[in-house]
């Protein structure tokens, strides 16, 4: 069973074993508006927690997607290159950005669970 975590920058990561699947939250895509372009990292790239891992562009703005934890990119979601609007349709599902092999599982302790994230979003509003 995958465990789900969230960041204050509105990324999510679903962790199963030593692999994390990363995307942006539904709240983030709502704030961005219509997504028109997604730039994803190359397979094999190493990312550090808090470092830019991808870029998402909307009709409103461009925004960095930060790595919730450190690791190595195993796979990028090629479907987003062909249909970036998928992020607006299913941000926390089919529109995942990358899968990474975790290099420091201890970093997960600094992330929020779903309930804490929802409280964070409410407090931000």
Q: Give the residue from 88, 96, 102, 113 showing the smallest Cα distance to 22.
A: 96
* Domain range for 31: 3-119
In a domain, 124, yes or no: no
Residue 124: per-residue pLDDT: 86
In a domain, 125, yes or no: no
Residue 36: per-residue pLDDT: 96
For 54, other C-beta atoms within 10 Å of its C-beta total 24
pLDDT above 90 for 1: no
In a domain, 24, yes or no: yes
Average pLDDT, integer, range 64-77: 97
Residue 7: per-residue pLDDT: 98
Gap between the Cα atoms of 84 and 59, Å rounded: 12
Residue 104: per-residue pLDDT: 96
- CATH at 69: 2.40.50.100
Q: Which pTM was predicted?
A: 0.95
Dump pLDDT digits (tens) for 74-83: 999 999 989 9
């Amino acid at each position: 069973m995958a465990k789900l975590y969230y960041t204050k920058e509105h990324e999510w990561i679903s962790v199963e074993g030593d692999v994390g699947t990363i995307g942006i939250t539904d709240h983030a895509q709502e704030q961005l508006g219509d997504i028109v372009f997604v730039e994803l990292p190359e397979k094999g790239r190493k990312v550090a927690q808090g470092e830019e891992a991808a870029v998402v562009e909307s009709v409103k703005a461009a925004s960095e997607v930060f790595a919730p934890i450190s690791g190595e990119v195993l796979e990028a979601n090629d479907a987003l290159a062909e249909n970036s609007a998928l992020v607006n349709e299913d941000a926390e599902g089919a529109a995942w950005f990358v899968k990474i092999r975790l290099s420091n599982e201890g970093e997960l302790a600094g992330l929020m669970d779903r309930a804490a994230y929802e409280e964070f979003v409410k407090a931000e509003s």
